[in-house]
Amino acid sequence: MNSIKNAAVVLIAILFALLMLVAADWFLTARKISQSFDERMGQLVSKPYEEMDNGWYRLKRSFKGSELWGTTYYQVFTDQYGFRVKDSSYMNRDLAPKYIFLGDSFTYGINGAWDSTFVGMFAKGREEYVANAGVSSYSPTVYSYVYKKMASQSLLADKHKLVVALDISDVQDEATRWLASKNGAPTLRKSSEGVTFFDNKTPAQNFIKSHLNYTYLIYVYTKKLLGGSEMVESREAFDVLDMPRSAFTYVGASLDDKPYPSGYYPDGVSAAKVKIKKALSEIKTLCDKYSCEMYILIYPWPAQLKHVEGNSDWVDYTNETCAQIGCNGVINMFESELLQGSYQKSYERYYVSGDVHFNKVGNQLVFNILSKSVR
């Protein structure tokens, strides 16, 4: 009987202590006493991004800090235009870039340090300015906007060389997420789940973050220790070899009826491909004004290693698009050793475990093939 009473006393004491801690946290947060909260959060979650109007987001200008992907931290630097660069010595450049890369998280290098990315490898040893304009979850509608923005900032040099990394996920992003704007930056259309790049928390998480700073800090740190991430692309609970984001090459029209992240509603795959071709055509038209060379880079996600039956359709679409807009060539990673031998072994060798992105070996392979076409 005494043991039951003792256990009850301990439980009450624990609950009382937790209540007092929550009350103190609420008070400190409300009084803004936790002034360094954002700095401490910056050490635990991704911080290079800034949210703009209508869901638009971009990399911060002249940023020096770190990014978290899974449980890995790595340094991130951006220049005065918001392009990722190697380190602080590259943060202020007045020259227009000789080489420009447009793309999403693969191009940006979401999973690691600059020297482990294919753009970083390409830039190594070059005296010319190499602009990495890749940002996570961008797609061709956005690539076109970014490229036009560079023109308005006098960042397009005569005879520059442009690589547009056309990602598998661009089809879903065009179908479900990005809308072009006539007078400003693209709009990020919310799905039926209300998900945007930044808005990926439950109402309870948002409440805790807003009213209980220290409690949320503990939550994020615990999530980090367990291997969690704040990035949208990593939160999708799908097998990397069978993700809806990369399934349009081997799954039929049934995907068109499902909203993001499970499908391609409302526009569907066919309309998304039309949008991609239009955006790439806009980019090539502007590119021609500067007598530049434009290349399209394509590469498989892990699912395309396993489900090879639809890969040729995607390759054909890209080749046809390049021919129609007059681009200088397609850099085709579908013809590389990625698709040779066992897909399990290829995945283990070239991709981050449990992820869709290339590891350093995979990025090295991309660089090796890329550098043969773009000199």
The three-state (H, E, C) secondary structure of 226-288, written as one string: CCCCCCHHHCCCCCCCCCHHHCCCCCCHHHHHCECCCCCECCHHHHHHHHHHHHHHHHHHHHH
Q: What is the DSSP letter of 108?
A: H
Query: What pLDDT shows up at residue 196?
Result: 53
The mean pLDDT values, 10 residues at a time, for the chain of 375 residues are 68 76 68 51 64 93 85 87 89 85 97 94 92 97 97 96 98 95 87 51 56 62 49 52 93 88 94 98 98 98 95 97 98 96 96 94 98 94
Task: Please give the Cα distance from 287 to 361 (Å, whole number).
Answer: 31
Burial class, 358, CB count within 10 angstroms (exposed 0-12 / middle 13-18 / buried 19+):
buried
DSSP β-ladder status, 99-102 and 161-166: parallel
Query: What pLDDT shows up at residue 227?
Result: 47
Residue with tokens 């795959």: 269
Tallying the residues shown for the chain, one arrives at 375
Query: What pLDDT shows up at residue 182?
Result: 78
Q: Which residues 6+ apart lie within 8 Å of 10 measured at CB?
A: none
Q: What is the DSSP letter of 55?
A: G
CA angle 199, 203, 209 (to 5 degrees): 75
Asked if residues 133 and 163 have their Cβ atoms less than 8 Å apart, the reply is no
Query: What pLDDT shows up at residue 13?
Result: 72
Query: What pLDDT shows up at residue 150?
Result: 97
Query: What pLDDT shows up at residue 238?
Result: 61
CA atoms in the 13 A half-sphere facing the CB of 262: 6
Query: What pLDDT shows up at residue 253?
Result: 75
Residue with tokens 């093939």: 369
Query: What pLDDT shows up at residue 205?
Result: 58
Query: What pLDDT shows up at residue 359?
Result: 96
DSSP β-ladder status, 293-298 and 329-332: parallel
Cα torsion 345, 243, 147, 92 to 10°: value is -60
Task: Please give the Cα distance from 345 to 15 (Å, whole number).
Answer: 50
